[in-house]
Structure 1
C-alpha cells in the first residue's frame, strides 16, 4: 500500500463522514412494497462501512408522474419505509433528528439517518402538512426539485421552453419563517437563481446546497455561481459536492478528475469549512426504474461507483496537499458545525 492510500485511510478512519444527499426514501419504499425488508443492512451497510460513512441525509423524492395527487401519500410512505427499515436494522443504524442523536450514533458506532424533503410538493401550500412531517422527525427541506411548486421555481438540468421564472412565492417566504422557528435545515439545491437570491436575502441563518457543484467549472444552472457560493459561505452555510456525471461534467465521460475540480475550486474560493459531500448516488434508482434518473446511454450515472470510492477522493485531496483538517472538514466536520449553528 503506497503512502497516499495509507494516509487517506488514516484520515478516513478517524473522520466523521457525512453524505448530505442520498435518495434513500424512494428506493426503500419501492423495495419494501415488493416485500423486501432489512434493505439498509442488505444493500447499503457494506458500502457505507467501506466508505467510512457515519451519517446520511435521506431524501424524500416524488416522481413527476405521481404529482400532484399522490405526492403526500408517497412521501408519507417513504418516511414510513425509512423508519421501519431503521428499526429492523437498529443494530447498525439509528434515526437522527438532532445533534444529540448524532452524538449517540457516533458513541454507539452506528450509522445515522437524517430525513429531508427534496422538494415541498407533498405539502402543497399548507404549513400544517409541513408541520406533520416535522412531527414525524423530518428536519431538512429542499425547497424545490427541478420543477415549479408552491414555494418557487426549480432550475432545469438542460434548457427547456418555459415562461418567465419567478422567485420565492408568498408561501415560500412563510416556509423560511417556519424553518427558522423549528430550526430546520433549508436546502437550496435545485432552486433557480432568482429563488436562491431571495433565500439569501431573507434568511439570517445558515443555509445549505446539499448537492450542487461550481458553475465556473461546469456551466449548467444546477451548479452555483461564484457569487452564490460566496453568499452561502457568508451566511455560515455549506455546499455538498455532487457526484452525478450530469452535474460534474459531460454526462458520458465525467470522471473523478472532473469531480475533484469542483472540490478544489470551491475549497479555494470559500474554504473547506463551507464544503462537504452530497454525493447524490443514483445508480440504484436506475435499477428501480425511477424515470427522473434517465440512463441516456451511460454505463453509470455516478462518478463514484459506490460510497466505497470516497477513499479515492481522499487520495486526491492528500495528493493535492490538503492538510488533515481541511480533508476532515470536507468529509463531514463542516456539516456538523453548520448543523450545530442551525439547531443549537
Structure 2
C-alpha cells in the first residue's frame, strides 16, 4: 500500500459541526462514522497517512448557482464578520488540539514530526486556514494561530474578505473574475513569508494569484486545484498559471471534486478515475513530476464513487500505476513532494 499525505481536507469543519450538534468529535474521528470521508479507521484502511486539515468557516448561505443548459454560474458567497469567524476558527483549532491530546491524530509543525507520525501509524495533521476571515486586517491574531500550530493558509475562499477576492463557482468561465489582493492581503503575504506559513492559491481569483506572485518570495502553491484547459471552471488553473508555479519551484495538489475533474464540469460521483489521471498527466507535463501532489478536498466536495472516501484512496493510486507511473513517481505524487515543499517553506 502506497502511503498518502494529502494537501487538503475539510474534516475539521465536519467535526466542528458534530460538536455543534452535541456530538463528540474525538470519538467520531478515532472510532469512525458512516458519513463523511475521513476518520481514523478509514484513513488507515486507505493508506491516508496525513494531510493539511483546514479551518474553514462556512457562509450561512452558500452560493446558489443558476444553470443554462450545461453551463452554470453562481455569485460569490456572502462575507462573514471577523468576530464570528474568529470564534468558529478558535473552536476548530481547539478540536484539532483535543484530537492531538487524546491520541486520535498528531498535530505536526515540522516534516520530521510528519514522518514520525506516519512511521508510528498515527494520522499526521497540519493545521491550515481556508479563507482568512478569522484574521483581523492588522494580523494580530495571526501570531496566535501560528503558536497554535497554523502552518498553511489560503487568503480567501470563494468570497470576498479583508484580504482579497475569491472566485465564484462558474462553468465555463475564466478565473479572472475581479480585483486582486487588498493592502491587508499584501501585508498578509509578507507576514506569511516572515513566519514560514505556506500560502495556498486554490480559491483566489487570477488577479489575486498574480498579486501573490509579485509579493511573495515563496514557491507558488495551490493545494487543491486542477487544470482549466481540461475543465474550464473558475477554480482551476490556466496553463499560464501552471507555468508560473513551475518557474517558482511550486506545486499543485489534484482536487478530487468531480466538478473540477469532468470536462463537462458536472457535480456527479459517476466520474471515472481516468479523468483524474488526465489532470495528473497535464499537471506533470507543465510542472514536472516534482511539482504535483494530491489535494483531495475530502469532506468538502463530491468525489468519484470509485474512491468513495478515505478508505478507497488506493483506487486512485492503482489507476495512476496502471497509467504508467512507477513506484518512485507514485511516492512523489502521494506525499514526498508535499514534504519537500513544506520543508522548504518552513525553512527546515
TM-score tier after normalising by the smaller chain length: 0.7 to 0.9
Cα distance, 1:94 vs. partner?
A: 0.8
Q: Does 1:331 align with 2:343?
A: no
What residue in structure 1 maps to residue 42 of structure 2? 47
Q: Does 1:263 align with 2:276?
A: no
1:48–1:307 contact (8 Å) kept in structure 2: yes
What residue in structure 2 maps to residue 296 of structure 1? none
2:205 and 2:23 map into 1 onto residues whose CA distance is: 38
Structure 1: which 5+ runs fail to align?
A: 1-8, 286-292, 294-300
Matches within 5 A, 1:85-124: 85-88=99-102, 90=103, 92-124=104-136
1:312 and 1:99 map into 2 onto residues whose CA distance is: 26
Matches within 5 A, 1:298-313: 301-303=302-304, 304-313=307-316
Q: 2:96 aligns with which of 78, 82, 86?
A: 82
Helix, strand or coil at the partner of 2:159: coil
1:78 and 1:93 map into 2 onto residues whose CA distance is: 14
The structure where helix makes up a greater share of residues is 1
Cα distance, 1:213 vs. partner?
A: 0.3
What residue in structure 2 maps to residue 176 of structure 1? 189
Cα distance, 1:168 vs. partner?
A: 1.0
Helix, strand or coil at the partner of 1:38: helix
Give me the CA root mean square deviation: 1.9
1:56–1:114 contact (8 Å) kept in structure 2: yes
2:313 and 2:119 map into 1 onto residues whose CA distance is: 22
Q: Does 1:209 align with 2:222?
A: yes
Q: Does 1:70 align with 2:87?
A: no
Q: Deviations over 1:213-272 (max 9, x none)?
A: 000110011000111111112212110101111211221253322222111111122112
Q: Which moved more, 1:311-320 or 1:213-222?
A: 311-320
1:309 and 1:198 map into 2 onto residues whose CA distance is: 38
2:23 and 2:122 map into 1 onto residues whose CA distance is: 25
Q: 1:321 aligns with which of 320, 324, 327?
A: 324
2:255–2:296 contact (8 Å) kept in structure 1: yes
| Superposition misfits of 4+ residues, deviation over 4 angstroms | none
Structure 1's 320 and 103: CA in aligned 2 closer, same or farther, altered over 3 A?
A: closer
Matches within 5 A, 1:105-144: 105-144=117-156
Q: Which moved more, 1:58-67 or 1:178-187?
A: 58-67
2:126 and 2:220 map into 1 onto residues whose CA distance is: 16
Q: 1:27 aligns with which of 14, 27, 43?
A: 14
Cα distance, 1:339 vs. partner?
A: 0.7
1:315 and 1:214 map into 2 onto residues whose CA distance is: 21
1:233–1:274 contact (8 Å) kept in structure 2: yes
Q: Deviations over 1:124-145 (max 9, x none)?
A: 4131111111111111111100
Q: 2:271 aligns with which of 221, 239, 254?
A: 254
Structure 2: which 5+ runs fail to align?
A: 33-38, 61-78
2:220 and 2:28 map into 1 onto residues whose CA distance is: 31
Cα distance, 1:56 vs. partner?
A: 1.4
Helix, strand or coil at the partner of 1:144: coil
1:151–1:169 contact (8 Å) kept in structure 2: yes
Q: 2:295 aligns with which of 278, 285, 289?
A: 278
What residue in structure 2 maps to residue 244 of structure 1? 257
How many residues were matched structurally?
311
**TM-score, length of structure 2 as denominator length:** 0.85
Q: 2:208 aligns with which of 195, 199, 204?
A: 195
Cα distance, 1:207 vs. partner?
A: 3.0
What residue in structure 2 maps to residue 288 of structure 1? none
What residue in structure 1 maps to residue 233 of structure 2? 220
